[in-house]
Amino acid sequence: MSIQKKIINIYTCTQYTGRIPIAIGTKSEVPRMSQSRPAWSRAGMYRIFQFDGENYIDLPFYAQKEVKQIMEKKIKVNLLILSLFLVAFAVQSQELPQPKVVDPAEKWNAPSDAVVLFNGGNLDKFESVTGGPAKWIGEGDHFTVNPGTGNIHTKDHFGDIQLHIEWRTPTEDIGKKNQESGNSGIYLMGKYEVQILNSFRNETYPDGQAGAIYLQHPPMVNASRAPGEWQVYDIVFKAPVYNNEGMEKEPGRVTVFHNGILIQYHVEIKGPTIAFNKALPEHATKGPLMLQDHDNKISFRNIWLRELNL
């Protein structure tokens, strides 16, 4: 192997380890360096020695000019690569679109780009799952499950979303135990349930309490308030993706904040949960937001969502 190839190999190795600088010294410099008793080793027509804990290369005088040219050429190439990278980065930064401006809101109200599903008044954005108008009871700024009338869902269908919904379990359920106390559910795309339950001093199975992805993922913590108090879910949902053959390519995922506390983070949806709407297409990319009638008088208010493209 030529001196040039050896120097290039050593230079390349040391350059990427970032620990072994290379010094090209004249013959007169070697004795000065040798005063520290360097450890010498011979490697072909050059020697590698150590000085102050680092490695250096001592070359015959006739080879130093050639190696210096190699080094200078590598430095120029590296500078050129760096310049091209900086230019490409600047061009890319100029081509990035400006983020859309969204006006934030105060006190959990809907931002400017939200789809408002309910903020008082009627239930025009909802309908009965079995057809016809929603038969739940509107009460000013909120509405309440009318037990026995069945589930309701939105007329519009959605995929990836950020959802805000406020809910309250009734005081009349205090004293009821387990799944009988303040039970309902929010079904993303009509299929994937985020559980609603009175979980304030009401023990039940972990993946069935408030904030659970029902029978799939228990919440990380129990952030429940007492019956009669309003509670908040903020949910980020990424819909599942299917290939042309209808096979799941990417699973759905959910992140949930309960009363401002993170309880689910990017968890994988393992297929539809119990009591989903079986009338919906199996491999749909969008679906309605469904609210469950579980024979408890759960109330809802301030429901809005933002359509996303995750």
Q: How far apart are the first and last CA of the chain?
A: 54
Q: From the options 1.10.10.2520, 2.60.120.560, 2.30.30.230, 3.30.1240.10, give the CATH code of 115-307.
A: 2.60.120.560
Mean pLDDT for each consecutive 10-residue tract of the chain (310 residues)?
Answer: 44 38 40 38 44 51 57 68 68 71 81 97 96 96 98 98 98 95 98 97 95 97 96 98 92 97 97 95 95 98 98
Model pLDDT, residue 107: 78
Model pLDDT, residue 229: 97
**Three-class secondary structure of residue 68 per DSSP:** helix
Model pLDDT, residue 130: 95
Q: How far is CA 205 from the centre of its chain?
A: 27
Longest C-alpha distance within the chain, in Å? 99
Model pLDDT, residue 104: 78
Contact between 84 and 90 (Cβ < 8 Å): no
Model pLDDT, residue 88: 65
Model pLDDT, residue 295: 96
**Residue written as token pair 């079995």:** 130
- The DSSP annotation for 170-209 comes to -GGGTT--GGGSS-EEEEETTTEEEEE---SS----GGGS
**For the chain, domain boundaries:** 3-95, 115-307
**Three-class secondary structure of residue 16 per DSSP:** helix
Model pLDDT, residue 304: 98
Q: What is the pLDDT of residues 28-87, one digit of tens each?
A: 344 343 333 333 333 344 454 444 455 555 555 545 556 566 666 666 767 777 777 666
Angle at 302 (CA atoms; ends 297, 303), nearest 5 degrees: 85
- Helices 61-95, 3-17: inter-axial angle, 10-degree rounding: 40
